[in-house]
Amino acid sequence: MKLRNQTQPSEFLLLGFSEDPALQPLTFGLFLSMYLVTVSGNLLIVLAILSDSHLHTPMYFFLANLSMVDICFTSTTVPKMLVNIQTQSRAISYAGCITQMFFFIIFAGQENFLLTVMAYDRFVAICHPLHYTVIMHARLCVQLVLVCWTTNVLHGFLHSFLVLRLSFCADLEIHHFFCELNQVVHLACSDTFLNDLMMYLAAVLLMAGPLSGILYSYSKIVSSIRAISSAQGKHKAFSTCASHLSVVSLFYGTSIGVYLSASAAPKLASTAMASVMYTVVTPMLNPFIYSLRNKDMKRALKRLLEGRMMGWWGGRGKLNAF
């Protein structure tokens, strides 16, 4: 029985950000606010795209998928952290930790892949505008999303099964606010060579690969934009990419910075703070980035909100008449 407890612990401890009880209410309020903004903002994006037939195009189809992934991505980590703060507990069960890690890998990878697919969509739209509708047909768009999901689910299963084979001993403290794969693996007291190898290969194939695809797409896009003679045409072509390029820079810039700092000092609290940028802040900012710079999206959101308000006031009128 003692050996079993060492092999599969009953729980891990998520140390989070601060041990100061005075800061816990502030942390709870801040992350609750960010979470509510993230969910409501991304949900509005999805509803606006679904309700407006003018937005039923490949670009907005991928954007709706990205918004849904952002909701799931944030929901994987923040609710558990809020519960722990509210209950003044740091514990997460062994099964809960593995489950959280599994879904985090899936949604982080899906965000990565969708940004790559969106870059390809912009590449086709700008570099091959006459063939855009032929290339980016509905069937291809659905197939691309399904391939992304399949790849990331298999990726999540791979790392989860590799973690399940590890043995854990006394040190069960995770210096993070969620069960991050690298930190969980390095808590093991058994051999982690295979885990480290798979994490390295995944970083090269599933992180560097899509990033290379994005950089290649934008190198071609820049070349095409430079070839446009009119300044108005250049501005219009660049404006279609500006929002996506902003999200790509924010996501990759913060995630790469976090993992470089984590490899140098994996147990620093600053690593957890930096992780907030791509796990919470980036999904929260995405709806603002895509809506504030996009006239079609702002128009669809306005129609959606006006329709909801008219429906609400109409319902109140019926109740008053009754």
CB 14 within 8 A of CB 90: yes
Measured distance CA(250)–CA(83) in Å, rounded: 28
According to the model, what pLDDT value does residue 146 have? 97
Q: Considering all CA atoms of the chain, what is the largest pairwise distance in Å, rounded to the nearest integer?
A: 76
pTM of the complete model: 0.89
- Here the CATH number for the domain that contains residue 119 is 1.20.1070.10
> Is 125 part of a structural domain of the chain?
yes
- As averages over each run of 10 residues, the pLDDT of the chain (322 residues) reads 55 79 85 95 93 91 96 95 89 94 96 95 92 94 97 97 90 87 90 93 90 93 86 78 86 77 57 79 89 80 73 49 42
> Is 2 part of a structural domain of the chain?
no
CA atoms 180, 182, 184, 187: torsion sign = negative
According to the model, what pLDDT value does residue 19 have? 67
Euclidean distance between the first and the last CA atom of the chain, given in angstroms as a whole number: 68
> Is 322 part of a structural domain of the chain?
no
Nearest partner of 10 among 165, 185, 172, judged by Cα: 172
> Is 300 part of a structural domain of the chain?
yes
Cross-sheet strand order for the sheet of 91-93 = 91-93, 11-14, 173-174
| Domain coverage including residue 310 | 9-316
> Is 1 part of a structural domain of the chain?
no
Nearest partner of 103 among 183, 157, 151, judged by Cα: 157
Number of domains in the chain: 1
According to the model, what pLDDT value does residue 321 have? 45
SS3 labels along the chain = CHHHHHHCCCEEEECCCCCCHHHHHHHHHHHHHHHHHHHHHHHHHHHHHHHCHHHCCHHHHHHHHHHHHHHHHHHCCHHHHHHHHHHCCCEEEHHHHHHHHHHHHHHHHHHHHHHHHHHHHHHHHHHCHHHHHHHCCHHHHHHHHHHHHHHHHHHHHHHHHHHHCCCECCCCEECCCCCCHHHHHCCECCCCHHHHHHHHHHHHHHHHHHHHHHHHHHHHHHHHHHHCCCHHHHHHHHHHHHHHHHHHHHHHHHHHHHHHHHHHCCCCHHHHHHHHHHHHHHHHHHHHHHHHCCHHHHHHHHHHHHHHHHHHHHHHHHHHHC
Residue 165 token pair:
């084979």
> Is 135 part of a structural domain of the chain?
yes
> Is 321 part of a structural domain of the chain?
no
According to the model, what pLDDT value does residue 10 have? 84
CA atoms 97, 100, 102, 104: torsion sign = negative
Measured distance CA(220)–CA(216) in Å, rounded: 6
> Is 4 part of a structural domain of the chain?
no
Q: Which residues contact 104 (CB under 8 A, 6 or more apart)?
A: 73, 76, 77, 178, 179, 180, 181
Measured distance CA(294)–CA(117) in Å, rounded: 19
According to the model, what pLDDT value does residue 114 have? 96
CB 179 within 8 A of CB 92: yes
